[in-house]
Every structure is written in C-alpha cells, then in structure tokens.
Amino acid sequence: MILITGASSGLGAALANIYGTEGRSLLLTGRNEQRLARVVSTISGEVNAIAADLCQPREISALLDSLPQAPDTVIHCAGSGYFGAIEQQQPDSIDKLIHNNLTATILLLRELVKRYRNDKINVVVVMSTAAQVAKAGESTYCAVKWAIRGLVESLRLELKGSPMKLIAVYPGGMATDFWKTSGKELDTSGFMTAQEVAIMLKQALVNADHGYVSDITINRV
C-alpha cells in the first residue's frame, strides 16, 4: 500500500498514475475532493481517495485509520507556494504558506511516527531545491522548506535504529499548476514535467538489504 498526499495534481497525481499502472494498491489524498476524483478516474486497479486537510490532526488520524494495514510507502507531496518581495507579501498568505507546508508536514510526520516507527516504512518528503539554496523573491517559501528539511534531519536522529526511514526529495522547477497559484509569473516551457520527475523519483526509491537512498535532488537541465 502506498499513501500519496497532494495527489490531486502535479507530482502527486503523476506518481499515482505511474504506480497505478503497476497495479500497486493506492490511497490518495488532497484537499480538493473533485480533483482527487478526476485523478482516480484515470487509474485502473486498487485505488481509493480520501479528501483531507493535513493541517487538521483529526483528519490525519481519520485518513490513517482508513488503512487496512501499515503502508509500505508514504509519499508526501502536499504543499503550496507563495512568492514575491517580502515587503509586498500579505500576512494572511504567509500564514497559509506556513500551514500548508510546515504545519501539515509536522502533523503528518508526528502521526506517522506515533503509529509506525516500529514498522518498515519509507516516508518520502518532497520539498524543493528551495530547501537547499536561498532564492531572491522566495524568502518565505525558502523559510518553510528549510524548516521542513530541519524537521526531517532531526527526526532521522530520533528514529535511529528504527525500520522507518525518512527520504528527503529536492526537485527543481516543474511545469505544473503550482506556479499559477503562487503569485510568481515565469516561463515554465523549459521546466521538467511532473511525469518526468515522477519517473526519476520512482527509480531512485529503491532499497537494498543494507542501505537506502536517503536524499534525492532532481535538477532540471
């Protein structure tokens, strides 16, 4: 069973389609029920979808309660963007950015560790190259992504010796609807597609008996 968050669009939807074609059992989640339903309609095989707001602990609990067993993989793609010069950013939009990215990830990882720290699970946290390199015009976005990176690296220390593994993913620019809602206008014609990133990420998520890939950076050409 693979649980994919942020599966209603972009990378999450692309991953759902790739894994679905292989016949993997999937549980997809996102905030928009109608968009989730459209993704599900394109996938054959065993796939279920539950709309959930990951900023709400009760909704995270209900989502995980619906699983018949512990998932073998969780791929956390959910998040949002907000860009612009900091003096022009609005406090309510900054607050929304923090909640959709940092708060949601903290609460999801908290519940996953609480339930499954003794299970062999790969928890894949998709961030951005903005968690690695500072970028002008993306100060608050970089701030939340750097915070998530710190969260993941700190939790790895707490999970030392546990079969649960945290995998950090840092993709570069993708040509998705993400940019339309972020407040940043740019030409994405040379960016990677979500499908391309999904293929590369899936190939990298391969474990060996005595090792795993812990950090994945996917750069565009």
Q: What is the pLDDT of residues 123-138, one digit of tens each?
A: 999 999 999 999 998 9
pLDDT of residue 209: 76
**What confidence category does residue 180 fall into, taking pLDDT thresholds of 50, 70 and 90?**
low
Q: What is the DSSP letter of 192?
A: B
Q: Supply the mean pLDDT for the chain.
A: 92
Q: What is the pLDDT of residue 179?
A: 57
Which pLDDT value is given to residue 181? 62
Distance CA(15)–CA(78), nearest Å, equals 13
DSSP H stretches of helix in the chain = 10-21, 33-41, 57-65, 91-98, 104-116, 139-158, 194-204
Q: What is the pLDDT of residue 50?
A: 96
How confident is residue 192, by pLDDT bands cut at 50, 70 and 90?
very high
Q: What is the CA radius of gyration of the chain?
A: 17
Q: Does residue 172 carry a pLDDT above 90?
A: no
Q: What percent of the chain has pLDDT over 90?
A: 82
**pLDDT bracket for residue 211 (50, 70, 90):** confident
Nearest-angstrom CA–CA distance, 20 and 15: 8
Q: Tokens in use for 203?
A: 């190939």
Residues 168, 213: Cα–Cα separation, whole Å? 9
Averaged over 26-36, what is the pLDDT?
95
SS3 at position 43: coil
Query: What is the average pLDDT across 66-88?
Result: 94
Nearest one of 19, 43, 2 to 29, comparing CA atoms: 2
pTM of the model: 0.94
